Amino acid sequence: MRDRAGAAAVNTAEVARRFAGSRSGFTLVGFGEVGIPFYRLSLRAQVLERKPVPPMEEIVMLALDSGLEERGTIRGLLGLDGDLFDVILAELLRKEEIAIRGTGDTGALQLTPAGREVLELAREIAPADRPLEVHYDALLREVVPYVAGLIDARRVDSLGLREIPPASARPPELGALDPEAVQRAVMEVPRADAVSADLLALRRIDRRTRTFRGATLLVYRSDERKEVQVALVLDGEISEAHGAAFSRARLNTKSGVRASAMEDPAELFRAAFGRDPDQEPTPGGDRRYRDFEALDCFELPGRLAQALEEPRKRIVLISPRLTEKSLTPDLLDSVRHRLAEGTEISIGIGPEARGPAERDLERKPWRQLDELFRGYPNLTLRRLHRPGPAMLVIDREQAILTRLNWLGHEGDPNRSFVDERGVLLNDVKLIDWLAAEALARVSSRRESA
């Protein structure tokens, strides 16, 4: 994930790899970028401000505290002219931090109890109305400390983040805000002017601005029953609080996670060959092919990168979805190098999406692919009415079947989370059969959408 609004770049596959084994009895089957719902709240509050004492006033009070009380002596010690000294005394008298013992200009000066307290604290205290901005986590439903890099709601779709719904559809009201949480989150943050304050009361919410915080969603499938669990990774760590809130609010379906959509990778083999992997083969021959090797979901993005890293004779790629975010500069450069070396590359993409927003999401990367590699006779690019499972065939070395969209895994705000583990085939006959079937579809104009 590229840098967004000051947030650090995140490699979601590496995040998934790191936390793959964190759930006992569950296997990681999918992952992706999401946005955690937040609000920026502009508040009006009454506070008791603690301001630094002006230096000259503090020096006068220190002089009085040391036993000096004659005006002339103090003024001479400070080296101030009479008018400026009188202004300082007038301000201290106004705030009742000093008093005059006696009458007239000759009366002795002395600290009041209030002045002595201010001097001890080296601060002044005064009530004031102040505008405050706090960040409200709509999944946790609480005010949280300042979060850098929040993403404006108007940019979420363009960035391709799947939105996690808030725990409640109602926006936060004033009565739902914990004053102590506001005090901790905002009032105690060191300020440039060194002014701190105590919160007396929250007056009103002037503005609510919807924002999102980037995170990685991890989907775990039970090894023994049809159950899925979701974890949310923020700032490089799983947030148990966010995961628990997600579960309490029952947000799986609303976030594109459905247990009924989690099909075992063995189903990919059955869909491609019409049989179980341990049955007699159908593509030809009279012996059993060895069982396939399962691949973890976080391995697959790296497999495509590896396939494009060195010279090949052929690469066949079928990706039901296509998004701009998945067409990274490194991937496009690798495709260009392989084409220039003569590698036969065939790419099949699923049909154009029906909704206008989804169509707009796909049109730009489609044009990008078409324009970048137009003129290479060894590239075939087609849309397929029925793309089937995602597929990657590398020479006669290996073939991978998966539900992970090679060229559309990231950057789709409406994506669903499925079991994206892969099936790795190393048998030459199976690989050749898959490649021939895929090439026939990609090359057929009747198949192109």
3-state helix, strand, coil in the chain (%, to 5): 35, 30, 40
pLDDT band with cut points at 50, 70 and 90 for residue 287? very low
Q: Note the pLDDT of residue 279.
A: 54
**288 pLDDT higher than 50:** no
Q: Note the pLDDT of residue 78.
A: 82
Find out whether 316 and 391 touch, Cβ atoms under 8 Å.
yes
Which tokens is 275 given?
């049989």
Q: What is the pLDDT of residues 104-154, one digit of tens each?
A: 667 889 999 988 888 877 766 777 888 999 999 999 999 999 999 999 998
Which tokens is 57 given?
């006033």
Distance CA 34, CA 277 (A): 35
Find out whether 449 and 362 touch, Cβ atoms under 8 Å.
no
Distance CA 225, CA 354 (A): 35
* Of 430, 426, 423, the residue nearest 295 (C-alpha): 423
**Domains located in the chain, CATH noted:** 12-46+128-259 (no CATH), 54-121 (1.10.10.10), 263-443 (3.30.870.10)
Those residues whose C-beta lies under 8 Å from the C-beta of residue 325, and which sit 6 or more positions away, are 159, 160, 410, 411
Taking CA atoms, 3 is separated from 29, 149, 152, 216, 305, in Å, by 26, 9, 15, 14, 21
Q: What is the pLDDT of residues 9-58, one digit of tens each?
A: 468 999 999 999 999 999 999 999 999 999 999 999 988 777 778 888 88
pTM to 2 decimal places: 0.78
173 C-beta neighbours (distance < 10 Å), count: 9
Which tokens is 261 given?
């959509």
Q: What is the pLDDT of residues 341-375, one digit of tens each?
A: 999 999 999 988 777 777 888 888 998 888 888 88
Distance CA 297, CA 191 (A): 46
Distance CA 387, CA 321 (A): 9
